[in-house]
Amino acid sequence: MKISVVGLGFVGLSLASVLASKGFNVIGLDVDVIKCKKISNGIVPFYEPDLKQVLKNGLKKNLEINNNFLSIKNSDIIFITVGTPQKSNGAIELTIIKKAIASVGKIISKSKKNPIIFIKSTVIPGTLENTLLPILEKESGKESGKEFGLISNPEFLQESTAIRDTKFPHVIVLGGTEKKYLKKAKIFFNILHPNIPIIITNYQTSEMIKYANNSFLATKISFINQISSICQNIPGANVDDIAKAIGLDSRIGKLFLNAGPGYGGSCLPKDVKAIMNFSLKTGTTPLFLEAVEKINEQQIVNIMKLIKKNCGNLKGKNIAILGLAFKPNTDDIRDSISLKIIKILLKKHVIITVHDPMAIENVKKIFKNKINYASSITNVLKNSHCGIIMTAWPEYSKITNNHIKNMEKRVIIDSRRILKNSKLDCNYQAIGIGS
Ligand code: UGA
């Protein structure tokens, strides 16, 4: 069986590597020639724990990396894992996926196989039926359901645990219309992931499941962030004990109840915006999600208030930012709240020094010499009037009085409460703890 994966980002490269390491014949395709060269040499173009090793295993077995669509001819299965970026109005940009699908269509027109094409990219309901299927039929000259099958197969992996999530997903969702191909797809996934529930539905519902999933995760985060803001005004209240207690109610669940600076990353903010935009088009005002988004934005205002309250006039002050990645164990800074705070502080003429164990190089490309870069916790805090912990990197939970001794003013604002139990000799302020 020949499997192709089109688009080698977090999802595509993890999937191609895991499938190849399990012994499948896999072609990983990406139009970026430089990226393909790196990956062929075992270099992962971004930081993702465990991916390097799984990629190496895959390359030793049957993983071939290619940038030419001809290489995927005669595939039995084609996964589409290209990006669907955000437009300025919140809607998603389909140019990349349309191009990829057109190329796949042209290739399968010459194929002897009747492939299944799985769409893993996140697309709004109606995209498969109204946009992708017509392109495939036109370019291939073949009929869907007879000579190929098109199936929606949303992905739920998280960056930083991409390999674990690819190997052990919590659910497989298959959205389609053609029974023959859905049956084949079910057999394939039953072999790949025995004992994992498979939900079979139609295109639109499957596309909507992905948005419902990410919107609900964003909802949990905004919910706890709302509670956290209330806690901050109750002297002594602690949002983590509240999250722990309510999380033990199985109707609520303990995950995604970590209050913080708001959700960032390449998915939750984009998907919430896209489904809100789509919702309006269908005639439903997304009142609930509007609130989820507003609370997310409010967290930045809350952090700014804490900074001002504890530092006074900000002009010319030195502020240290600890953590730039949108979460630990990644170098991804897309939609990172940390960067939003830096932009606001720069406008207020603050002198900024930043630290991150993984993401510094990506941040340098954006801020260049407008900010200072430190390679250690001690150095980032040196001479600063305030240190702000933005990402819950484990090393930040080990900050001691030694690290903060050269601060100009010992003010620590901890947006993740990872230092709440340390006995630091400083003015400690945290999101979600009443003072
Ligand atoms: C998210 C979803 O969790 C995945 O299931 C989904 O597949 C993925 O988007 C996607 O659509 O591709 P990811 O973007 O990797 O995954 O990041 P998350 O782990 O969800 O974190 C998103 C943001 O929420 C981060 O800024 C994180 O710090 C924040 N967060 C998360 C909190 O503030 N509190 C929490 O309790 C959890």
For 77-112, what is each residue's pLDDT tens digit? 999 999 999 999 999 999 999 999 999 999 999 999
The helices-and-strands tally (H runs, E runs) of the chain is 16, 14
* Per-residue pLDDT, 397: 97
Record the pTM. 0.97
Contact between residue 319 and residue 307 where contact means Cβ atoms under 8 Å apart: yes
* Per-residue pLDDT, 380: 98
Q: Which helix (H) or strand (E) holds 179?
A: helix 179-192
Probe ligand 1: pick from 84, 221, 340, max atoms within 8 Å of CB?
221
For residue 312, is it left (φ>0), alpha (ψ between -120 and 50) or beta? left
Ligand 1 proximity of 333 Cβ (cutoff 6 Å): no
Q: Which atom of ligand 1 is nearest to the CA of 327?
A: 28
Ligand 1 proximity of 156 Cβ (cutoff 6 Å): yes
What is the Cα–Cα distance from 337 to 353, expressed in whole angstroms? 16
DSSP conformation letters of 22-61: TT-EEEEE-S-HHHHHHHHTT--SS--TTHHHHHHHHHHT
How large is the average pLDDT for residues 210-218? 98
* Per-residue pLDDT, 124: 98
What is the Cα–Cα distance from 79 to 120, expressed in whole angstroms? 7
Probe ligand 1: pick from 14, 327, 391, 414, max atoms within 8 Å of CB?
327
- 231 is a catalytic site residue: no
Contact between residue 374 and residue 400 where contact means Cβ atoms under 8 Å apart: no
Burial of 336 (0-12, 13-18, 19+ CB in 10 A): buried
Confidence label for 435 from pLDDT (cuts 50, 70 and 90): confident
Which residue puts its alpha carbon closest to atom 11 of ligand 1?
267
Query: For the chain, what percent of residues have pLDDT higher than 70?
Result: 100
Give the rounded distance of the alpha carbon of 266 from its chain centre.
Answer: 5
Confidence label for 178 from pLDDT (cuts 50, 70 and 90): confident
pLDDT at 417 over 90: yes
Active-site residue, from 36, 267, 386, 426: 267
Confidence label for 198 from pLDDT (cuts 50, 70 and 90): very high
Q: Please name the residues in contact with 79: beta carbons below 8 A apart, sequence gap of 6 or more.
A: 3, 4, 5, 6, 12, 15, 118, 120, 153
Confidence label for 227 from pLDDT (cuts 50, 70 and 90): very high
How large is the average pLDDT for residues 283-309? 98
- At 51-75, the pLDDT tens digits run 999 999 999 999 999 999 999 999 9
Which residue puts its alpha carbon closest to atom 2 of ligand 1?
158
* 129 Cα–ligand 1 center, Å: 28
pLDDT at 359 over 90: yes
Ligand 1 proximity of 327 Cβ (cutoff 6 Å): yes
Report phi then psi at 69, rounded to 5.
-60, -20
Residue 147 corresponds to which amino acid? E
**Which letter does DSSP use for residue 79 in this model?**
E
Please, what is the average pLDDT of the chain?
97
Residue 203 corresponds to which amino acid? Y
Q: Is 149 helix (H, G, I), strand (E, B) or coil?
A: strand
DSSP conformation letters of 375-393: SSHHHHHTT-SEEEE-S--
